[in-house]
A and B are shown apart, each in its own frame.
Chain A
Amino acid sequence: MDEKGITYTSPIYLQLREVIRTKIEEGEYQPGMAISSENELAETYGINRMTVRSAIDALIKEGLLRSVQGKGIFVVGQKYQRNLDILEGFTQVMKSKNASPKFKILQKNPRPAGKLFADLFGIKEEDQIYYIRRTCYDNTEPVSIEELFIPEYLVPKFHGIDLTVFSIYEIYEFYGINLVKAIQTLDITKLNQRDAKILEEDEDAPVLLFECTSYDDKDRVIEFTRSYTRSGKSDYSVDFRV
């Protein structure tokens, strides 16, 4: 729009807005990461906080930034346009309809792929993959424990991304990964002691075991997930067609 017309005579907040935009475009601020705080920006440029706030608000309105109470201001990556919105397959249906699921990260670390995942992702045994383990809550009630395995080469800056701010699917979009297919299985297993405690169930309580291998449009395996879901807390529904 009027970006090209910004000069040193333009209002300060517009100039700062373009500074931040440039940093995002040039990759100094990566999608999923926090930008400098309002105080730091005010200090760096010798301007007052209200002005900084106006610049940031404008970018939040544009959808380039996202503000998270108590956490900071985060860069939202460019979303790739796609017309893929019809899904088939299991859909997890939470019992309480109006609650949005919340996650608590139990563990998030890189680790060597090992033989099984090297084979699955088509990488070397010593290549790194990210391992994430998290609890999914429906309001305050734990519903499931989820484990995710993602090869590092697909999401190199993954470690710096706050998974309570962005969903994994947003992160894939930032990296231009287009998931098109998933193979899912649903089984029943028992909870071990550690997981039972987290899910507030008895040890050995039966749970639904859901496993999913996701592929992108280049037929690469993007992630493997496994989740243990408490009975009665969530259903899986599926549409079938002959």
Chain B
Amino acid sequence: MDDQGKSKSRNEAQEELEYYIKVNQLKAHDKLPSERELSELFSINRSTLRAAILRMIDEGKLYKVTGSGNFVQEPKIVRNLNDLDSLTELVEGFGKKISSKVILASVIEANKQMMKKLKLPLGTKVFQLLRVRLIDNEPFVLETSFIEYQRFEGIDRYDFEQVSLYKILKDDYGVDIVKGQEKLTLTYATEEEAELLSVAYKSPLFFISGTAEDREDRPVEYFRSVVRPDKMKFSSILVKKSQEEMQHG
């Protein structure tokens, strides 16, 4: 009912506001005009406008400072899942600094899940690396990697706070990660994740898991990450390719 009739809907109010921000090139932390001014400008009633603002706050596009007004939120970093660009380049491209903190780096025995994902027999030695990645010193992703140890013997001796895992695999072991599959869903922070990511216990997080493969289709890494949705979102470009194109590469 609230979407029909003559008065503008909350959707339309949000569209007006998004267009206003775009056209006026408002940047992160710029202040929006008052709700009264905006409702006059868009000819939208105050309660509809307020509902649109609330939704944009939920979507991480605006934030409110009590007694001061509404502001444009910093844009989330957009991670394109189709390319394996390193997180470092991506984050630096947004003009921010990325760093890593190693929580755990150890050689363990493959359990059933790792066995399936890495196609290794149960009990095979696997290098497990648990890292928190930080943007401008704020944690945003907790990443666990599992790698077959025998194939990459000595990998446990690197300091992964200083070097990139994929770069080591390539430069020191001659293995190029070229493709993979991953799955994204929503999860809730466990106590440990909440602490490592500085978020509230049970707050919503992205959960990403998948495998990365080399040129010979051999799985190299099985990974599981949890990501803060207030810092990052994901994108993907879907392209239809003809079979011919696929066959020719």
A49 and B186 CA atoms in complex are apart in Å by: 54
- Count of chain B residues with Cβ under 8 Å from any Cβ of A? 52
Query: A180 near B81 (CB under 8 angstroms)?
Result: no
Query: A84 near B242 (CB under 8 angstroms)?
Result: yes
Cβ-defined partner of A182 (8 Å) among B183, B186, B237: B237
- Count of chain A residues with Cβ under 8 Å from any Cβ of B? 49
B84-100 vs A, CB cutoff 8 Å, 1 = contact: the mask equals 10000000000000000
- Majority DSSP secondary structure for residues of A touching B: strand
List A96-125 residues whose CB lies under 8 Å from chain B. Answer: 107, 109, 114-117, 119
A188 beta carbon closer than 8 Å to chain B: yes
Query: B235 near A183 (CB under 8 angstroms)?
Result: yes
A238 and B81 CA atoms in complex are apart in Å by: 7
B59-95 vs A, CB cutoff 8 Å, 1 = contact: the mask equals 1100000000000000010100111100000000000
Query: A89 near B186 (CB under 8 angstroms)?
Result: no
Whether A188 touches B186, Cβ cut-off 8 Å, given contacts A89-B82, A107-B3, A239-B180, is yes
Whether A116 touches B16, Cβ cut-off 8 Å, given contacts A88-B239, A240-B180, A241-B179, is yes
A233 and B76 CA atoms in complex are apart in Å by: 25
Query: A183 near B19 (CB under 8 angstroms)?
Result: no
Residues of A within 8 A of B4 (CB): 107, 109
Residues of A within 8 A of B15 (CB): 114-117
A185 beta carbon closer than 8 Å to chain B: yes
A85 beta carbon closer than 8 Å to chain B: yes
A209 and B242 CA atoms in complex are apart in Å by: 29
List A131-159 residues whose CB lies under 8 Å from chain B. Answer: 131, 133, 147
Q: Give chain B nearest CB distance to A233 CB in angstroms.
A: 9
* Closest B residue by C-beta to A186: B234
Query: B178 near A242 (CB under 8 angstroms)?
Result: yes
Query: B240 near A231 (CB under 8 angstroms)?
Result: no
Residues of B within 8 A of A240 (CB): 81-84, 179-182
Complex A-B: 16 CB contacts under 8 Å: A83-B243, A84-B241, A89-B237, A93-B183, A116-B22, A179-B240, A180-B240, A184-B238, A185-B233, A186-B235, A188-B206, A189-B58, A206-B204, A208-B186, A237-B184, A242-B83
Whether A187 touches B179, Cβ cut-off 8 Å, given contacts A88-B239, A117-B15, A238-B184, is no
Residues of B within 8 A of A232 (CB): 185-186
B109 beta carbon closer than 8 Å to chain A: no
